[in-house]
Amino acid sequence: MTGEVSCVIVFMLAKYRRKEKSYMSIASDLIRGHTDTIILALLMDNDNYGYEINKSIQQRTDGKYELKEATLYTAFRRLEQAGCISSYWGDEQTGARRRYYSITETGRDTYKTLITDWKAAKKMIDKLIETEDKQ
């Protein structure tokens, strides 16, 4: 298959995915490496529990992205083991008890570093994919 043909196929596939609104898999691939950063960002202002954090992600992305439960709780364990977050049980009077997560000072420092790294990577990627024919 020539480069031109494969490029056309990729373009048509991308166009089809956008048309069918199934570009979530592409977005998921781009976002996947930033799960920790997203969680830390959502905990910067207040403590929260898993369901609400995932709901916030869905709301901020207009329903286009959500974390799978296993991914979310694996990230919580990883962040807690790294000292970036701590957890505690809520004292709900009704319903199931909730485990709340809170960002630590280490987590705040880690978040700042991850954001700096993200901005540098984004700037580099923008330079790599920018064309002279800016649309």
Domains along the chain?
Answer: 23-129 (1.10.10.10)
Q: Locate tokens 């997560």: which residue? A: 101
3-state secondary structure 54-93: HHHHHHHCCCCCCCCHHHHHHHHHHHHHCCCEEEEECCCC
Give the 3-state secondary structure percentages of the chain, helix then strand then coil, rounded to 5.
60, 10, 30
- Give the number of other Cβ atoms within 10 Å of residue 48's Cβ: 19
Q: What pLDDT score was predicted for residue 21? A: 52
Q: Best-predicted range by mean pLDDT among 21-25, 92-96, 99-103? A: 99-103
List, for residues 2-55, the tens digit of each pLDDT value: 445 444 555 544 555 555 455 456 567 778 889 999 999 999 999 999 999 999
pLDDT value of position 22: 52
- pTM for the full predicted model: 0.76
Least confident range from 12-16, 71-75, 78-82: namely 12-16
